[in-house]
Chain A
């Protein structure tokens, strides 16, 4: 005999994954955790699309001759690699997936401040993504991801307007997400959760959101101006009609330089969480690390002119930009040194997230230091538009951001899916990515320094050895990226169930079930102490 329904009421509320089935419960959800999963699926798709273009580029560069791609196709492929990876993977990656999932959990709230806007943001992102994707399908764009005028406005025969429209729409998604995070962190913190008790991931997400909110509108308006000039032949950036092409570059980089900090800052936040959890120590100099995030966000707006060193801007302003570009090394270095000091004397264990965290420190340091070369006016003239810049950029973006993203994905995977991933597979793929990444991009530093220009599908015979190494590395990297797709996918449905706090981590997100219920917490948590207070392990006392 079946029990009446009111007796069968469960003890604890269902997890967010089981709270409703069917497409409506996903596509019309306002639950930040479900939206995070929607984002996860979409940006994973874009990541492999962008990766496909990267792989084609590397295959073409296996030989000095043009065999696989002709010049026009090659131009389109590197442009689409850049556009997809920058706007549809790197910028949304950590903020929209981990940020969406974790910000309300970490502040002890039931949801973000504006749940419906959050869903709108995903729809805008997808509309922008589909418009951009259709631009690729109908023939693509060949201007480079920077859309420099006058090529983009006057000479290019590709689908510039359509692609710019996609980015414009996706930009509003960024703005909404950024606003949502800022307001949530300001107004929805749990009782007792003061600013200096916030996890460092929130500090970096907050700083990232500041950039999203302050910089993205400038990109939007710049793309509109560029589009109008292309469509109507008016001369805002056209010297023949009294315009100034450098104005485009100024406005574009006013957004796009801060944008590279949008891409890396969340990674720095993830890094602080991983390092402290897996060395079981409070982050050394917590306040300095927190403030360094804000400082990076502010400084990021003062350095954009280092992209214009050889473009004809005033040498005096270039001097100022060069100096300010050096300054940004200070907060970055504070973070690196503080992580090292956190590790020192810690009780370190080497689970997959920690492997990623340690790789991150090395790769980000190389990327950051080569950034200083590029901030130096004289050296920059030598290496501008060479593979040196490509290598530097990828050390920060792939070696830094993607590694941090994967580290964070593995770290919070038990919380997101409620299941553990296979540890051995995780470690293998982390090592594959580390080896493959260095093999791909370290040779490019040398190539660039020797003078191989970027954005050409052919090169001098003498560069072939290093290019072959690079392409070989890219193949290893590809395997390293595909592996997590499979074992995380398997784990989502079949992995062993995860406890609420598998890593013994601090932070409010670990104080609720894995996966969390829709309301996140059964009752509003009250915070009474600083974060990263790890209990002393019994075995350490023996």
Chain B
């Protein structure tokens, strides 16, 4: 009982931390820090409240599978979004092709 209360205390501290840190502008680190703290809290709940710490490999496997598949979805969808507007041809490609066509070797 005291053990669970300790976990709960840690979760409260992390909640206070993330709320407090959110008031400070960390620039590009804002969202990674917030997500890191959320992940830490989620890990605490999963390991101790949900007993993953003491569960068999199958339960861990199930939890990991969900996260792995989610990360696949994120990787490809965000990968598409991030690279969609990069032109496939380098600048000046057409000129290069045209001058190659004019070259005496042909």
Direct A/B contact, Cβ within 8 angstroms: yes
Mark A residues whose CB is within 8 Å of B.
Answer: 186, 210, 214, 218, 244, 246-247, 250-251, 254, 301-302, 304-305, 312-317, 320-321
Task: With both chains docked as a complex, state the minimum distance between the C-beta of B33 and any C-beta of chain A, in angstroms.
Answer: 27
Partner of B77, one of A186, A250, A302: A250
Given contacts A304-B76, A313-B84, A314-B82, list 14 more A-B pairs with CB under 8 A: A186-B58, A244-B81, A250-B73, A250-B76, A251-B73, A254-B77, A301-B72, A302-B72, A312-B84, A314-B86, A315-B88, A317-B83, A320-B79, A321-B76
Query: Is the beta-carbon distance between B73 and A218 smaller than 8 angstroms?
Result: yes
Task: With both chains docked as a complex, state the minimum distance between the C-beta of B40 and any C-beta of chain A, in angstroms.
Answer: 26
Query: Is the beta-carbon distance between A254 and B88 smaller than 8 angstroms?
Result: no
Sampled A-B contacts (7; CB under 8 Å): A214-B66, A214-B69, A247-B77, A250-B77, A314-B85, A316-B86, A321-B76
| In the complex, chain B residues whose CB is within 8 Å of the CB of A250 | 73, 76-77, 80
Task: With both chains docked as a complex, state the minimum distance between the C-beta of B54 and any C-beta of chain A, in angstroms.
Answer: 18
| In the complex, chain A residues whose CB is within 8 Å of the CB of B82 | 314
Docked complex Cα distance between A317 and B84 (Å): 8
Task: With both chains docked as a complex, state the minimum distance between the C-beta of B4 and any C-beta of chain A, in angstroms.
Answer: 28
Q: Does B21 contact A (CB under 8 A)?
A: no
Query: Is the beta-carbon distance between B73 and A316 smaller than 8 angstroms?
Result: no
Chain A proximity mask over B65-77: 1 for CB below 8 Å, otherwise 0 = 1100100110011
Task: With both chains docked as a complex, state the minimum distance between the C-beta of B91 and any C-beta of chain A, in angstroms.
Answer: 16
Task: With both chains docked as a complex, state the minimum distance between the C-beta of B74 and any C-beta of chain A, in angstroms.
Answer: 11
Query: Is the beta-carbon distance between A305 and B65 smaller than 8 angstroms?
Result: no
| In the complex, chain A residues whose CB is within 8 Å of the CB of B81 | 244, 314
Query: Is the beta-carbon distance between A314 and B69 smaller than 8 angstroms?
Result: no
Query: Is the beta-carbon distance between A214 and B84 smaller than 8 angstroms?
Result: no
Partner of B69, one of A301, A305, A312, A316: A301
Task: With both chains docked as a complex, state the minimum distance between the C-beta of A213 and any C-beta of chain B, in angstroms.
Answer: 9
Residue of A nearest to B65 (CB): A214
Most buried by B among A210, A214, A302, A304: A214
Docked complex Cα distance between A321 and B79 (Å): 11
| In the complex, chain A residues whose CB is within 8 Å of the CB of B88 | 315-316
Total CB contacts across the A-B interface at under 8 A: 49
- Interface residues of B, count at CB 8 A: 17
Task: With both chains docked as a complex, state the minimum distance between the C-beta of A375 and any C-beta of chain B, in angstroms.
Answer: 16
Most buried by B among A244, A314, A320: A314
Chain A proximity mask over B21-45: 1 for CB below 8 Å, otherwise 0 = 0000000000000000000000000
Residue of A nearest to B82 (CB): A314
Docked complex Cα distance between A314 and B85 (Å): 7
Partner of B83, one of A210, A247, A304, A314: A314
Say what secondary structure dominates the interface of chain B.
Answer: helix
Docked complex Cα distance between A244 and B85 (Å): 14
| In the complex, chain A residues whose CB is within 8 Å of the CB of B76 | 250, 302, 304-305, 317, 320-321
| In the complex, chain B residues whose CB is within 8 Å of the CB of A254 | 73, 77
| In the complex, chain A residues whose CB is within 8 Å of the CB of B79 | 314, 316-317, 320
| In the complex, chain A residues whose CB is within 8 Å of the CB of B65 | 210, 214
Query: Is the beta-carbon distance between B80 and A314 smaller than 8 angstroms?
Result: yes
Residue of B nearest to A303 (CB): B76
Docked complex Cα distance between A275 and B42 (Å): 48
Partner of A246, one of B58, B72, B80, B83: B80
Docked complex Cα distance between A321 and B82 (Å): 15
Task: With both chains docked as a complex, state the minimum distance between the C-beta of A381 and any C-beta of chain B, in angstroms.
Answer: 13
| In the complex, chain A residues whose CB is within 8 Å of the CB of B80 | 246, 250, 305, 313-314, 317
| In the complex, chain B residues whose CB is within 8 Å of the CB of A312 | 84
Task: With both chains docked as a complex, state the minimum distance between the C-beta of A324 and any C-beta of chain B, in angstroms.
Answer: 10
Most buried by B among A214, A301, A313, A317: A317
Docked complex Cα distance between A24 and B85 (Å): 61
Residue of A nearest to B77 (CB): A250
Task: With both chains docked as a complex, state the minimum distance between the C-beta of A253 and any C-beta of chain B, in angstroms.
Answer: 10
Residue of B nearest to A302 (CB): B72
Residue of A nearest to B73 (CB): A254
Docked complex Cα distance between A416 and B13 (Å): 60
| In the complex, chain A residues whose CB is within 8 Å of the CB of B66 | 214
| In the complex, chain B residues whose CB is within 8 Å of the CB of A246 | 80
Docked complex Cα distance between A315 and B86 (Å): 9
| In the complex, chain B residues whose CB is within 8 Å of the CB of A186 | 58
Docked complex Cα distance between A246 and B84 (Å): 11
Residue of A nearest to B87 (CB): A315
Task: With both chains docked as a complex, state the minimum distance between the C-beta of B97 and any C-beta of chain A, in angstroms.
Answer: 18
Docked complex Cα distance between A313 and B83 (Å): 9
Most buried by A among B65, B76, B79, B81: B76
Docked complex Cα distance between A489 and B37 (Å): 62
Docked complex Cα distance between A251 and B84 (Å): 17
Residue of B nearest to A246 (CB): B80
Task: With both chains docked as a complex, state the minimum distance between the C-beta of A323 and any C-beta of chain B, in angstroms.
Answer: 13
Partner of A314, one of B58, B72, B84: B84
Docked complex Cα distance between A234 and B66 (Å): 29
Docked complex Cα distance between A520 and B76 (Å): 45
| In the complex, chain B residues whose CB is within 8 Å of the CB of A247 | 77
| In the complex, chain B residues whose CB is within 8 Å of the CB of A316 | 79, 83, 86, 88
| In the complex, chain B residues whose CB is within 8 Å of the CB of A321 | 76
| In the complex, chain A residues whose CB is within 8 Å of the CB of B77 | 247, 250-251, 254
Docked complex Cα distance between A247 and B72 (Å): 15
Docked complex Cα distance between A186 and B58 (Å): 9
Docked complex Cα distance between A235 and B53 (Å): 42
Docked complex Cα distance between A304 and B72 (Å): 11
Docked complex Cα distance between A302 and B72 (Å): 8
| In the complex, chain A residues whose CB is within 8 Å of the CB of B58 | 186
Docked complex Cα distance between A76 and B88 (Å): 38
Task: With both chains docked as a complex, state the minimum distance between the C-beta of A133 and any C-beta of chain B, in angstroms.
Answer: 32
Docked complex Cα distance between A71 and B41 (Å): 56
Docked complex Cα distance between A214 and B67 (Å): 10
Task: With both chains docked as a complex, state the minimum distance between the C-beta of B19 and any C-beta of chain A, in angstroms.
Answer: 29
Docked complex Cα distance between A250 and B88 (Å): 21
Residue of A nearest to B84 (CB): A314
